[in-house]
Structure 1
Amino acid sequence: MGNSFETITVLQYRLKAAQEELAAFQSGEKYIRMEKQHLTQVRALERRIAKLEAAVAKEHSHAITIRNQWFEIFEQLQKECDRMVAEAVKKADMMEKRAIRAEKQRDIALEKVTSQRRELCKVKTELDDEKQKVQKLTAQINRNYENSSIPSSKSIARKKISNSREKTGRKPGGQPGHRGHCRKKLTPTREIYLPAPEEVLHDPDFKKTSKTITKQKIDISVEVHVTEYHADVYYNSKTGERIHAPFPQGVIDDVNYGGNLRAFLFLLNNDCCTSIDKSRRFLSDLTDGKINISKGMINNLCRSFAQKTESQRKEIFCDMLLSPVMHTDCTNARVNGESSYVFVCAVPDGGVLYFARGKKGHDGIKGTVVEDYQGTLVHDHDVTFYKYGTGHQECLAHVLRYLKDSMDNEKDRTWNRQMHSL
């Protein structure tokens, strides 16, 4: 009830207001007021528009002024920018040209460096090759009979073989405080008793003691002993046969030389390595020219010795085949001015055999102990010897020579000294 009353009241007021407004419109007053109000608003709006137009014109003029100023500034900036761009382009062109020129120079320099490196590498390689050649030639020049297998006879201007013993600074001979090595006395072949001095004979105060001083004088003499055999010849008148007593063994020719003389000449010619001429001259001088042996006779002594020792050599040959270790080598020789070779075979117990050959290699080994040997061969690493035997060892004398060669020509290495000491 309350709400409806209020609603009715509101509606009544609104209806009354509407009736009054309708009456105003009907009377025309409302139109007059509205027109006046409208005119007032129009004039106010016109004045406002005029002000706004003036402000707009002013702002437009100001904008034109600012725009003109901006155009001027922009033109200046554009000119400055164009100038800077032109300078930058010019500088860029210059830099590009410089870069191209620098690249060309760099490429040329790289080519030069590459070429120089190649030349340097080539020069280093050649230098290393030359150094190796120089080292090799120096080593070849420095090689002699002391540090290689070159025989001393082939060394040019060879020096004297030095003694490997270190000097002690002491004088040669007996040293103080050491027991002396006296000369040994021999069995006398002749005794001479010296008489008493004259002063002893005439002075009765001297009495003979039991002490006797003996001194020996040892000397040698060469005597020619000639034994001449006589044998009567007997003739059989019935058969015509002639007969005489047999001569001793070895007495065949009218003049025969004994075994001592033959052995002396054989050892002098072979063991002492004197020539046939010197051997016969030496014997002639010893005998005051009584014995003058021919060269042919001395030359035949080797053949005679070989024939008489054939059985002994065969026995030594067989013993060598059973030895577990054997040393062998081949050396040069000259026979009637032509090259020949001597093969040497030796075993630790002292057996030694020499084989004369006209060739080296396998042809020279034929007939020697090496051909059928089945033990360890010790040699100078000649490739021929590796075809024989069951084991091989290089002669340490050659190894020491090679190590000495390395020590003399390769001083930057240390293993060679260590190996040499070992």
Structure 2
Amino acid sequence: MSWDDLTKEEILSRFLQLEEKIDDLEEQLIQKNEQIDKQAELIEKQEKVIEQQSKRIEELEARLRKYENPHTPPSKRRSGTDESPTSQDDEDDDLRTDGGTPGRKNGHDPEWRSTTDPDEEVEVTYDCCPECGEHFDESVGVSPRLVEEIPDPQPPEVTQYNRHCYQCHSCGTETVATHPDCPDEGQFGVNVIAQSALSRYDHRLPYRKIADRFEQLHGLELSGASAWHATERAARAGRCEYEQIRREIQDADVVHIDETGIKRDGEQAWIWTFSTAQHTLYAVRESRGSDVPAEVLGEDFAGTVICDGWTAYPAFSSNLQRCWAHILREAKDAAEKQVEGEPIYRALTQLYVALQTQLESDLTVRERAELQRVARRELESLIERSVPDGPVATLLGKIEGGLDHWLTFVGEPAVSPTNNAAENALREPVVLRKIIGTLRNDRGMFVHETILSLLATWRQQGRNPYEELRRVVSSNEMISRAHAVPAVETSG
């Protein structure tokens, strides 16, 4: 039916119907727009959450790469982050994952403290019963208890040395009398100097707390700067012994070397360690190159260097032993990331265990040489494997690059297959690095490397660090009186 055939009433009715439909559509459109706005708002919130989660994922991945890469030792992986406080690290060492408690395992014999003879005996008696007041005739036994106590804090001893001056009538030389207990500089004696250095590098105290400790225990007033100067005097006094340690290491047949970062006035520097069975030397340098071992050990060093894969070592010497602990960690990491790495990691582990087992017997030089040739062929067969690009290919490249240095320990009985000794020697400097943050200048570097070297070496040799510090400071005072001592060079 056309519009011409409709009455006015019918046309009006249809218009009304159309208007209702338009109103319905407009309402639906408004609802749709509101839904779209809500969805847009929800999407915006979700995008912000995704962005935050993406940043968090990047942080966690970076931390994972840093602390679970094959070059990170297990002890550092447990600690979590660089910023973890030392106290937390110490607490982590006591945690047990087997549900037990810290301490000696069941079945192990207990270890008791050694008892000492008493300096004094005190008779502790009662005259009467504390319950009813009945008088006691005599005791029926004795229940001894040893109590060890330290003396009350002792005040400092203050001595004035009236040093008389003389002039020779014959040659005109002016002389000031000396005394073995009177230092040539400063107002603090040998014990203060030794305790300052030990408090800083053994007890890890800031200099202001060292000053507080002297005041609390002895009533001795000195500033943090005075504690620093006392520690510097200890370092200057021990520098001759530091150089003697360097000469002993230069003559060694085997030296473990490693390095780690440290800040010098906020800039990147490195603390190197050179360790033997009886000596440990630290050297703080701004270089991480081969010039440092060449300087410390001498360019004509003829011993064997045990090290990791850092390029400075083959640039310094061809007589190396590469660390198996490092390569096994890298192999394990590659096996976890790439399936082709599993048989390589298994083969390396089996080879290392087999070599260790065979070397436990007393092999002749000829037998060692033959074992070395067989082991080299095993490594060469691993290198020849065809693998796709990735962590395993990188691993095989490292094995090939150090092929001449993986098996030195097989031919030389005195050489260790791992560089654990050097890594252990770096633990104390790493803890101190977290505490002090940065060394301020050349003087700080000088003190740091000197005191650390002396303390580590004395401990290796079973000597008492406090007594040794007193010895070197006293000896230095006697030497300085015998002849003039030039200013200490602190460029290193």
TM-score with structure 1 setting the length = 0.52
Q: Determine which of 271, 285, 288 is the counterpart of 1:342.
A: 271
Bigger relative contact order, structure 1 or 2, given CA contacts below 8 A and separation 6+?
A: 2
Cα distance in structure 1, aligned partners of 2:280 and 2:344: 33
In the TM superposition, what whole-angstrom CA distance separates every residue of 1:100-155 from its partner, at most 9, and x where no partner exists?
Answer: xxxxxxxxxxxxxxxxxxxxxxxxxxxxxxxxxxxxx9987632245343696996
1:287 positional shift: 4.0
Shift in Å, 1:377? 0.8
Residues 164 and 311 from structure 1, CA distance in 2 versus in 1: closer, same or farther, beyond 3 angstroms? same
Q: State the partner residue of 1:373.
A: 301
Of residues 128, 144, 147, the one that matches 2:69 is 147
Answer whether contact 1:320 1:351 (CA < 8 A) is retained: yes
Equivalence map 1:18-417=2 (5 Å):
142-149=64-71, 167-173=97-103, 179-199=109-129, 202-204=135-137, 206=138, 213-219=144-150, 221-229=152-160, 231=162, 246-252=178-184, 256-287=187-218, 290-295=220-225, 297-299=227-229, 301-302=231-232, 304-347=233-276, 349-369=277-297, 371-410=299-338, 413-415=341-343
The C-alpha deviation readout for 1:34-92, integer Å capped at 9, x for no partner, is: xxxxxxxxxxxxxxxxxxxxxxxxxxxxxxxxxxxxxxxxxxxxxxxxxxxxxxxxxxx
Deviation of 1:207 after TM superposition, in Å, equals 5.5
| Unmatched runs of 5 consecutive residues or more in structure 1 | 1-136
**Is the 1:231–1:244 contact (alpha carbons within 8 Å) kept by the matching residues of 2?**
no
User: 1:354 offset after TM fit, Å?
Assistant: 1.2
Q: Give, in whole Å, the separation in 1 of the partners of 2:60 and 2:166.
A: 84
Contact 1:146 1:401 in 2 (8 A): no
Counterpart CA distance in 2 for 1:158 and 1:225 is: 38
3-state SS of paired residue (1:142): helix
* Counterpart-to-counterpart distance in 1, 2:324 and 2:229: 36
Deviates more, 1:367-376 or 1:182-191: 182-191
Length, aligned pairs only: 278
- 1:187-246 per-position Cα deviation (integer Å, ceiling 9, x unaligned): 434432212442399244x4655x56232243464423313135497999x9xx999964
Q: Alignment partner of 1:377: what SS?
A: strand
Shift of 1:415: 3.1
Query: What TM-score, normalized by structure 2, do the two folds share?
Result: 0.46
* Amino acid in structure 2 at the alignment position of 1:277: R
Q: Which amino acid aligns with 1:293?
A: S
Q: State the Cα distance separating 1:342 from its structure 2 match.
A: 1.9
Partner of 2:454: none
**Seq. identity, %:** 18
- Code of the residue aligned with 1:332 in structure 2: it is G
- Inter-CA distance 143–183: structure 2 relative to 1 (3 Å threshold): same
1:352 offset after TM fit, Å?
0.7
Deviation at 1:181, TM superposition (A): 3.1
* AA matched with 1:194: V
Deviation at 1:167, TM superposition (A): 4.3
Supply the AA of the counterpart residue of 1:374: A
Alpha carbons of 1:230 and 1:192: their partners in 2 closer, same or farther (altered >3 Å)? farther
Q: Is the 8 A contact 1:144 1:155 kept in 2?
A: no
Deviations 1:292-338 (A, max 9, x none): 23425515624x33433344333332322332211112222222223
In structure 2, relative to structure 1, the CA distance for the partners of 1:142 and 1:405 (3 Å cut) is farther
Deviation for aligned residue 1:399: 2.6
Partners of 1:379 and 1:394 within 8 A in 2: yes
Whole-angstrom distance in 2 between the partners of 1:345 and 1:234: 47
Distance 1:182 1:215 in 2: 14
- Residue identity matched to 1:202: H
What are the Cα deviations for residues 139-176 of structure 1, in whole angstroms up to 9, with x where unaligned?
A: 87632245343696996888987669974444445677
Q: 1:168 to 1:196 in 2, by over 3 A?
A: same
CA distance in 1, matches of 2:70, 2:240: 38
Instruction: Describe the SS at the equivalent of 1:381.
Output: coil
Provide the C-alpha distance between the structure 2 equivalents of 1:150 and 1:383, rounded to a whole number of angstroms. Answer: 18
CA distance in 2, matches of 1:404, 1:164: 27
Q: Which amino acid aligns with 2:135?
A: H
Distance in 1 of aligned mates of 2:207 and 2:163: 38
Unpaired runs of 5+ residues, structure 2, are 1-58, 354-492
Looking at CA atoms only, which structure, 1 or 2, has the larger radius of gyration?
1
Structure 1 segment 1-12 matched on structure 2, within 5 A: none
Q: Distance in 1 between matches of 2:94 and 2:345?
A: 16
Distance 1:213 1:361, change over 3 A: same
Question: Which residue pairs with 2:398 in the alignment?
Answer: none
Output the amino acid matched with 1:291.
Answer: E
Shift of 1:346: 0.7
How far 1:381 sits from its partner (Å)?
1.4
CA distance in 1, matches of 2:60, 2:176: 77
**3-state SS of the aligned residue for 1:367?**
helix
- The amino acid that maps onto 1:344 is T
CA distance in 2, matches of 1:388, 1:244: 50
Structure 1 residues 373 and 154: CA distance shift in structure 2, 3 A: farther
Paired AA for residue 144 in structure 1: K
Distance 1:170 1:384, change over 3 A: closer
